[in-house]
Structure 1
Amino acid sequence: MTAVKDCILTINGGSSSIKFSLYEVQGPLKNVLIGEIERIGIEGTKLTWNKEESIEVEASDHAAAAMFLIEWLEKQPGFAVVKAIGHRIVYGMRHTGPQKITPALMKELKGSIALDPEHMPGEIKLIEVFTAHNPDLPQIACFDTSFHADMPRMAKLLPLPRRFDVAGIQRYGFHGLSYAYLLEELGKDAGARTILAHLGNGASLAAIKEGKSMDTSMGFTPTSGLPMSTRTGDLDPGVAWYLMQSEKLSPEQFNHLVNHESGLLGISGISPDMRELMKQEKDNPHAAEAVEFFCYQTRKWIGSFAAVLGGLDTLVFAGGIGENVPEVRERICTSLGFLGITLDKEKNHRNEHIISSDNSKVSVYVIPTNEELMIAKIICEVLNFSIET
């Protein structure tokens, strides 16, 4: 690898993965390295970088994976080039912006583990390992929930006894770093009434009015809202009671069921991957049902958010499915003509930036999201790094 200058390291920890990037901060932000350690704690753990090269990794948990990453970075550009680390943290509770990681914040994060047992333990381990390696290196928490912190009260409120609201049980919303990036990319092209659809392994939508989040499909946890690759999305709470009684499921087993065995995987019984399901849908009715259920639910949310906004000017597709599967975008939009949405089929199938037709009343975009770049920009602002735009 060629010599690099001072860099920001961005860390995006998932339930079984660590995505990372290095951005040079002298001059315009420049991505000089991107990679991922995947299948952490599962057979076949590997590190892939720059989408081309990969090596096997021995990592039973996030702490071991982080140690491997640090040692690997020492042999690449040298860890000394890292001047700050930015972490994507799923839960920010009532934090309205990024926070420098301190012992007090770490205590708060550890107290939030029960809210998100899928992500929080790994994210905390990552911070601890980097702190042990270099305690003086500034680390910044970038919260996914901060984007939605100013949502209207009616969008946040859950229909539970008042004491739970006081305790902080409300709709928080997620994918905030992705949404912030998409709005920045839209710039002046964003209409006053915009719906952002982040459709990937995790999927959600946000209703945006004049650049502000008005509502979002994910709620108290990232399991709610749209059906996802392995998550249920919204589910009748009575189902939880019934299954715990009839199947004798423990809370831990139910949590695993709704987060890892459901969604596209659960309905199809085949795969959580949308492209794989679409390959099989002609011959497998369960695969076809999973695909149509996802499109149907997405249409419902778009319709409801158009009602929240009082109409619709702009629709944006992002995420692995939203960016790369034109057939899904077409199926979602086909029944939305009443909102003024008309796609240009050729543009859609070429994954062009604008896929709406010339006579469409709603502008429809495909924008590849970039949470890592958004983290890097946030770190530069927090630490007053001088960068060129």
Structure 2
Amino acid sequence: MSDAILVINAGSSSIKFKLYALGAGEALDTVFSGVLDGIGGDARLKAKDGDGRPLDERSLDKGAAADSGAAQKIVMDWLEDRLGGHEMIGVGHRVVHGGPTFTHPVVVDGEVMKTLESFIPLAPLHQLGNLDPIRLLMKEHPGLPQVACFDTAFHRDHPELSDRFALPRALYDEGVRRYGFHGLSYEYVGGALRRLAPEIADRRVVIAHLGSGASLCALQGGRSIETTMSFTALDGIPMGTRSGAVDPGVILHLIEQKGMTAHDIGTMLYRESGLLGLSGISNDVRTLLESDDPRAAMALDFFSRRVAQAVASLAVSIGGLDALVFTAGIGENAPDIRRRVVEALAFAGLALDAEANARSDLHVETKGSPVAILVVPTDEERMIARHTRALLLAAGEGG
């Protein structure tokens, strides 16, 4: 039997999973990966082996994955039937919010779980779904170590200047501050730059994590200095269904003049805004790019301009810009969005090589550009596996 680590990246409507075999040194070899999506509705399970060959793809019985707990049970049953010669020595989880308490990955026990549950109001769309699989595994596999890896941890050594809101100090002391998210992605991409482009890895870099959830982060010396998301994963640029930054006066207006409740406003900001709200068509960039509806074009222009504005703003925090890095689903796979963003930044000397951009090469800037422009795939699950292995080895749990 060879040791393996399971990684679970659970959200409100899907559960992604990967099994990594521990190889020689620090090697992590993907055994298989998959996703169960459509939780609460028409759920589907899809999986492939480490070489990308299909293992399973099927629709689930109606109601079989009615909630995240039921979905996780389906995933675990599927996994246990396919472990073969691998023995799970631990499970690593993506947990969106570590609050002011957790600055590094941690082995989960009862007390840690209580603290993580207290952060649910800070990330209502994500935190509960992140914790459900941990809760189920604690019940059904009580001896199996579980590690929580936080999307906020990468940003926790921000200078106070980057952490504060212009609100009374007492609120900051209570934990109302700019936490930042997508930290596992930024940590992975920042590390990948040391291998792929070491000449810029420690310089002034802005990473644009553009997916259904989207944010940007300014790094210097490989450390997070400033990021667009803040107290919650709503802030910053617009996303698939999330609004991004909104004038606080709009919220007051909706309460006072429209009679909307906190629940109503939360639903609108998290689920009905962003690209979906702007276009009235879809939250999916691929659908909007294929549409000839002028509302789709407006939504994409709005999104691209806000990304470019965020790049320029973050450059102030690090005293300039040596590299812009695109990552995540849109950042890696939508050349037209990259083109729109970079064209809006042409005043700062940024320019794309059209052919390299169309191919999504590592470097997509023009020759001689003063600012490097890169496309670097992210891998949050591998980052979680690395943290989990390191913590288990430190605790003497793994070989």
What residue in structure 2 maps to residue 105 of structure 1? 112
What residue in structure 2 maps to residue 6 of structure 1? 3
In the alignment, structure 1 residue 21 sits paired with structure 2 residue 18: yes
What residue in structure 2 maps to residue 91 of structure 1? 97
Structure 1 residue runs of 5 or longer lacking an equivalent are none
What residue in structure 2 maps to residue 259 of structure 1? 270
| TM-score with structure 2 setting the length | 0.92
Identity of aligned residues (%): 41
CA contact (8 A) 1:172 1:218 kept: yes
Deviation, 1:80, is 6.7
Give per-residue Cα distances to partners, 1:145-187, cap 9 Å, x unaligned. 0000011111100111222111100000000000000011100
Deviation, 1:248, is 2.6
* Secondary structure in 2 matching 1:204: strand
Counterpart Cα distance in 1 of 2:342 and 2:181: 24
| 1:195-210 equivalence runs, <5 A | 195-210=206-221
CA contact (8 A) 2:4 2:86 kept: no
What residue in structure 1 maps to residue 158 of structure 2? 151
What residue in structure 1 maps to residue 387 of structure 2? 378
Deviation, 1:338, is 3.1
What residue in structure 2 maps to residue 336 of structure 1? 345
* Secondary structure in 2 matching 1:384: helix
In the alignment, structure 1 residue 76 sits paired with structure 2 residue 82: yes
CA contact (8 A) 2:98 2:119 kept: no
Counterpart Cα distance in 2 of 1:105 and 1:328: 40
> Among 139, 149, 152, which residue is 1:132 paired with?
139
Give the aligned length. Answer: 380
Counterpart Cα distance in 1 of 2:89 and 2:58: 26
| 1:1-389 equivalence runs, <5 A | 5-27=2-24, 28-42=27-41, 44-50=42-48, 52=54, 53-57=56-60, 58-77=64-83, 81-94=87-100, 95-187=102-194, 188-189=198-199, 190-280=201-291, 283-384=292-393
CA contact (8 A) 2:2 2:85 kept: no
Amino acid at match of 1:276: T
Counterpart Cα distance in 2 of 1:343 and 1:5: 46
Deviation, 1:18, is 0.7
CA contact (8 A) 1:23 1:33 kept: yes
Would you identify which runs of 4 or more consecutive aligned residues in structure 1 move more than 4 Å?
Answer: none
Deviation, 1:130, is 0.9
CA RMSD of aligned residues (A): 1.5
Q: For structure 1, which segment, 88-97 or 183-192, has the greater mean C-alpha deviation from structure 2 after superposition?
A: 183-192
Deviation, 1:191, is 4.6
